[in-house]
Structure formats: C-alpha cells, structure tokens
Chains A and B, each alone.
Chain A
Amino acid sequence: MMDTITNFSPLSSLSPECSRRRFLGVSGVLVLGASLPVQRALGQTAAPTTFAPNLWLAIDGDGTVRATVHRSEMGQGIRTALTQVIADELDADWSRVEVVQAQGDVKYGDQNTDGSRSITQNYDRLRAAGATARLMLRQAAAKHWGVAVDTVRAGNHEVVHAASGRRLGYGELASQAAMLPVPENAPLKKETEHRYIGKPVTHVDAGDIARGKGTFGADFSLPNMATAVVVRCPWLGGGVKSIANKPTDEPGLVAIETLDAAPSAGPVFAPLGGVGVVAEDTWTAMRVAQGLNIEWTGSPNQTFDSNELRHALRDAVAKPGTPVPGSEKGDVDAVFAAGGTELSATYETPFLSHAPMEPPVAVADVTEERCVVHAPLQDPQSARPMIAAQAGLTPDKVEVTPTLLGGAFGRKSKPDFALEAVELSKRVKRPVRVQWLREDDIRHDYLHASSAQHHRAVIDDEGKPTAWLQRSAFPSITTVFAAQAVQPAPWELEMGFSNLPYTVANQRMESAGIRPGARVGWLRSVCNIFHAFSANVFADEMASAVGRDPIEHRLSLIPASGKLKQPGQPAPPGHELDFARLRHVIERVRKLSDWDSPRPEGVGLGFAVHHSFRSYVATVLEASMANGRPRVSNAYVVLDCGTYVNPDTCVAQMEGAVVFGLSLSLYGDIALKEGAVVQSNFHDYPMLRIAEAPATKVELVPAQGRLPAGVGEPGVPPVAPALSNALFAATGTRHRTLPIRA
C-alpha cells in the first residue's frame, strides 16, 4: 500500500506551507469569496472578525493579510509579483502577508496564465483592491477616534493619527473596517510612495523550494490515492484495438482501463486516449505500462512525416502566398524588376517540445457529487467546465486548484492530462494521480510548429531595403481548434511578422499554412521565435552585404520617433510599438556589450532586437566555435517592459530566456516519422547544461509610469538570431536553419 503523504481536506485551498502561507479551511475560502453585502444579506449580525472588502485580500483579527493570487506560478514569480502589488497599496507589512492560491472561478475574471499578461491585465485592478482596503482601514480608525479621515494615514500595517500619536494595527481595525461600505475610486499611491512595487522582493516560494517543500503537481496527494501511467497511441487519432497481454495478478495493480481517443467533436483539449494503468504506486504503474503489448487502430496521421512537412513549407515560401491584408506598400515587384543589389534567403525551424522540468501530472478525485482536481494548470478556470464535462457533473460541483507548476511554457494551459486523471478516478472510484513519464511528455506534446520563411530584398548602398518581400509558412495553432483551419491566424502573424518595425518604401508580406499530422500549440513566445529569427538574420545579411556595422545599420531602418501602424488590428492604446523605445534598447545593449570593442580572432558578436508581448528586448551574444560546436561565452540583454513590479524577477526571466533560447538554437529538434515523434527523453532532445550557459548581463530600462508589459516570453525571440549573427561574425558562415549544429 502506498503511504499517504498528506491528509488535507480535499476542499482546502492548496498553498505550500511556509511562514507566510498556510492551508486554509473551508471557511477561509468562503470568507474570501464573500463581499460584505453578501455577509449582511446572510443576516450576519455579529461583527465579522475578517475584513474582506474584495476578492483579492482579507485581513484577519490577528492582522494576518491573505492575498489571493489567481494566476499560476510557473517560475515567472507571479505569486510574488501580484502579492507585491496588493500589499503595496495596502501598506501591509510583507512578513504578515500570506498568499492564497485561487481556484479556477469566473469571479476572478481571466485566469489564463499565458501570453505574458498577468501584470498587464491585473496591475491596476490589484492596486485598486489594495488601495480600497487601505482607505477603509483609515476610515475605520478615523471613525474610532472621532477625527477626520484626512488626518490619519496608513503605514506598515497600521493607521496613525499623527496629531495625537495614536495608532491602531490592521488586525485591530479589521472588524470595524468590515462594517463600512466599500468605497469606489480609492486614491492610489504615488510612484514615489511604493514600498514593494519596483523592488526586488524575494519570491514567496523560494524558502519552500530550497527546502524541498514546495508542492508541485506530483507532490499533492489524497488518502487512498492510486497512481496511473497512460500508454498512448504513437500517432495522433489512433485508438486501442487490442491489448495482447493484460496482466491480472501483478501485486499493486489496481486496474487497466481503455480510454477513448479524442473525439473529433468535444473539448478542444481532449485527452489522446490509450490505456490507463492504475496502480498503488508509480513504479508498478510504470512497469506494467511498459510491458503492455497494445495494438492501435490506424489514422490518417499515421503517415505524417516532419521532413516532408519541412519540404512542403520550403515549397510554400518559394511561391506567392496569401497577402497579409493591409501590409502592401509601394510596388515590390517593380523594384525587383528594375534590379539592383538583391538578397534572398530562406530560413527553417523545426518542431519543438515544451519539456517543462515537471512532466504533466494531475490528481483528481471524482465522486457522484463532486470532483476535486489539483494540478499544475496554467488556466484552472477554463479547465473547470472541461473537467466537469469529463466527470459528468456541473461546473459548480468541480474544484480546480493549481499547484506550483514545475515549468509550463504553454504546455500546461492544455488540461488534457487533468482530464485523464478525472476519467480514471471516475472509473476506479478513488483518487487518481496521472503521472506522465518524460517519454510521454516529449512524444505527446502540443508541439511548437515547424516553419519556413523566405525573405527577398533589394538594398541600396547603405544596406537599406528599397523593397522587401517576406513570406512565412507554418502549421497554425488554430488547426487544433478547428478541423478546417489551415491559414495562419492574424494574431500569429502579428508575432513578429506583419509588425516588422522597419521603414521600407516597397513591402509585401505573404503567409501560407499547412495542416500537420500532429497537435501544435504555443510555446514560450510562440511564432515570435521563428519570425524574430528570420527577420533579424536577414537584416544582418543586409548589413554585411554592404560591410556596415549591424547595429548602425539596424538603427538606420528604424524611425527616430513615432508609433508603428501595423496592418490589421491596431495594438491597444499605450501598447503600440514605439520606435524611440526600440532604438533605446538597441543603443543600451550596444553599450552594455561593449559592442564597439574588437573581440579576439574567432570570437564574434551577434545582435538581435524584438518587440513582443508589448516589451522591447535587445540581445547581444558573444560566440565562437570550439571543438566543432558553437560556444556562447557572454550574453547581454536589455529589457524595456514598461512599469515593472519585481526587477529581480525581470532580470531572472531574461537570464532564463537566454538559456531557453540557446537550448532551442543548439538542440531543439523534434522529428516525426510515420506519425510518431522520434525523440523521447533528454538524451535525444537535449537541453542546455550549466557548462554551456554564458555569463549573462541584463539591464532593465527604468520605465515606471509606462504601462506594464510582458516579461516571461519576450526574452526568448532575440536569442537564436543573435547566436546565428554572432557565429557569422566569428566564422563567416551563415546559419539559416535551426537548430545550429555546427
């Protein structure tokens, strides 16, 4: 029998233990969800001891502040950053703030932790939440003392009446504040008054993690829980035809369950189906699963070959594609016909797997009345109705609580693995943890799409393009949503393709799509990866064609000021691409990298810049060839993400993005043959290791006062082109295909 590790009530809200966090019982969760009018409507006469003016915070009588974080933590520090915002405007003492992880619930608004937008979307509303509470605490104190509100101020977990020297702690004020009506438009602090926003606060989970106490998906357990490993069909769309050898007397084996293949209709992120091996412990499930001899049914995807797809993508960009509406400027064809110095190049990138350090895993407990899921989900809210459908329950009977995500990069916004746990728990009538093995993770991912780009330009004596034609072809993510979808969606093209920030008098952009025989999905920075790669390398090719310094050249292509008018949907106000900010990160990275100082023979500097997720990132890599392999010695990154909450997190995300970007630049290559992914684990899908990680310097542009932008993703796109350009500078060899092997 498997020992149970924890015995927390399944109704409890999971938050890893630590001084500032704790498990909350049912009442804590309900209090959080209730606003004051609701409490009054319930006929509550006694003064509540907890002050919970909104969804985001509650203050107990002992002064403990519970801040609710409704986004998922995957290493981007969001549990810390959102709490910084709330605690700052509340003027709370950081050591008395606990973090409560929200369950998936529409009451929070969007909970999709994707697209590097948690701060962009929540900065203002969480500041307002904290400020509202602060005002109410001041009102409560003023009322208690019989003085005017504007004579009292809040500071570090207490309200002070300076004239009389009286002070009351937030805990002491909680029950009185709770009786007050919730005001609207509470004043926000001035930037200079911020105590946590803009400061390098240590992550709330850092202590737990360094002590092995953080609760990731696989670390959560329930009494009487079984563990399952699922064997899935190697090709998409196949199902179980037969199992030749079903063991029956294996000690610790609970059940072998056949799961249906994804229905053609139904939830978008439906499980793949296969054979679920449920056992008392993980090793038994793994061993039995490995020994199964399963015959699979066929599917049209069984002939899918990623090499053939690459040929098809290359062919697609060799001929006219679908013009991006509104992208055409001047007359590209006339300039090409007139002749001049012409450059053209084709770039290729392969499929990639997310490979989060923690493979997908989920715990589900389904009974006839309810369903509880604890899992590393990027979007617990959108998962909830899918889980409900799988469990055969209504969403109100379903609780979905995110654990810590051991990395995600987009993989864990698809809840297919949680749905597997739900189905198996329903079948075996006990809690089930579904554990994906690394091999399952690499083979059955929603892959980052393989792509091809073709660039063609006529340049003048300064390397400036007088005409620029660019084409991009890739299997669109929309193919997983719609059976008929083929063409790249506008939002995919707006990731570094249709919003090219360079001044070109004659310009055309065309795209093409192909339906793949595999699931595609979004991976950290998505289409920006290949679009930034091809555009930045091609720009470098223009500069080198006329012997110009790549940074000088690039600056000459960007207007001195103004905002980009991109084809299609305009960017939200305040988030338009600002040429001055783009130039600024370039100029800063030039200084930071000491760009103008010559490097030794055989060592090259490569530069790339990219605007994505509303942020600006310029990257310089210093690289050489060593023993026939690229070696990156130094990385320099400048980030302008507007207002930032935790500068140290921003720096860490850029450091991590360099490593992530180098992994995909040097190793990332998923191939499919006969519908099946060829790679399976880190021996044939390698990751960058410590000895290959460059020393990294990051500079953050002080831009407080500007709208906050994304941080988790935008560091990735410039890395691959900066490496390619650095290797060209070092060796004279152009690398137009990823990964760069030698």
Chain B
Amino acid sequence: MSSEWPLWEVFIRGQHGLNHRHVGSLHAPDAEMAIRHARDVYTRRNEGVSIWVVKSGDIAASSPSEKGPLFDPSNDKVYRHPTFYDIPDEVGHM
C-alpha cells in the first residue's frame, strides 16, 4: 500500500523564531494527510510549532558527482570565514 503513496519530506519549526529543519520523510496520499502523518510521526514529543511538507520528487538536489566543482573551491578560502577580527564581549552571541 505504502508503495502507492508518494514520499514527502517533512520540515518542522521547533520554536518561534527558528527556521524549519528537515526531520525526515514519510508516505502519504496527499499534502493534508502528509501533515497529519508528520504531526503523528515527528511531533510526538512536543518538537514543533509549525510543519512544512513537500513532495520529495519536487525537490531539486545537487548531484553527488558534482561535489568537487561545487564545494571544493571554498575549501581553501579561509578568509571567507569571519574569524580575522575580534568581537567585543558586549555583542554577545552571534
């Protein structure tokens, strides 16, 4: 039965002000049922205040074979990390 249902990716926002985070996937016949299932499968321990679902097939993903050209060039560019100046204590957490 589950093989006839499309796969959905589930995103949960844990608290107000935080981003939705990918938590997993599930099968459901449509978006409404996917949200119900997500509620039952992924928010049982008070994890969420908001749920997004998206059909897995609708996600455009980078291909693992392109990993080199996509990500390697940033490996040796340490100057892109904001680590070369001091942050005053008063600024607090950034």
The answer to whether A and B belong to the same complex is no
